[in-house]
Chain A
Amino acid sequence: AQKITQTQPGMFVQEKEAVTLDCTYDTSDPSYGLFWYKQPSSGEMIFLIYQGSYDQQNATEGRYSLNFQKARKSANLVISASQLGDSAMYFCAMRPSTGGFKTIFGAGTRLFVKA
């Protein structure tokens, strides 16, 4: 069965420090995409970063990077130089190549950035 696990319900980080949000996944598909989305208090869903299962290098998008460890089935999000505006809910998601290309989500991690 396909599954995404985010074990940190809540995280605190000091402004300007880096933070890692954990994500592990379970799939038997050889090909899949991994995503992180941000949901601020306004409720909108914002795409942050994508990693393909066959990508050799870790994805980066500005202050966001994805620490992809395929053998461990891990796709942690690293936010460098945290800002107050990073306080939000963060969701890890996966889209396997089979089964209708359904995207499934983890339960999310709420990040609080302290001034």
Chain B
Amino acid sequence: NAGVTQTPKFQVLKTGQSMTLQCAQDMNHEYMSWYRQDPGMGLRLIHYSVGAGITDQGEVPNGYNVSRSTTEDFPLRLLSAAPSQTSVYFCASSGDWGSTNEKLFFGSGTQLSVL
């Protein structure tokens, strides 16, 4: 049981480059989300999805794009990388509302550096 698979683990980009962070889950979760983690700021929500074809913005969506064509996959696209996007990125999924079904299952994270 793979859970949430997130790739790549590390990435270095130059300013202005674009890239896609991949995220896939095999738990049939409807809810998927992307967070960025910066020192002293906890995890901040970038974008989230409550099902295939449905996405919405979180707290810090600027500079990022998402789509959800299948239940399993939720890629995050950096359109034109900026040094301010240097961060650790986490993909997470969860089940339906109610009890510990709501807990987030996290990918292993992507450490992104933008030079």
A interface with B by C-beta (< 8 Å): 4, 6, 9, 33, 35, 37, 43-45, 47, 50, 52, 91, 93, 95, 97, 100-108
Contact = CB atoms under 8 A, between A and B. Distances in A.
A16 to B, nearest CB: 28
A100 B48 contact: yes
Contacts of A107: 40-42
Contact of B104 (A9, A43, A103): A103
13 contacts: A33-B102, A35-B103, A43-B109, A44-B106, A45-B106, A45-B109, A47-B105, A50-B99, A93-B104, A101-B102, A103-B92, A104-B59, A107-B40
Say which size band chain B's interface belongs to.
20 to 34
A45 B42 CA distance: 12
B45 A104 contact: yes
A29 B31 CA distance: 19
Interface of B: 31, 33, 35, 40-45, 48, 50, 56, 58-59, 88, 90, 92, 94, 97-100, 102-106, 108-109
B48 A50 contact: no
B88 to A, nearest CB: 7
A51 B31 CA distance: 19
B102 A50 contact: yes
Given A43-B109, A100-B50, 17 more contacts: A45-B92, A47-B103, A47-B104, A50-B100, A50-B103, A52-B98, A93-B104, A97-B97, A100-B48, A101-B97, A102-B48, A102-B58, A103-B45, A103-B94, A105-B42, A107-B41, A108-B42
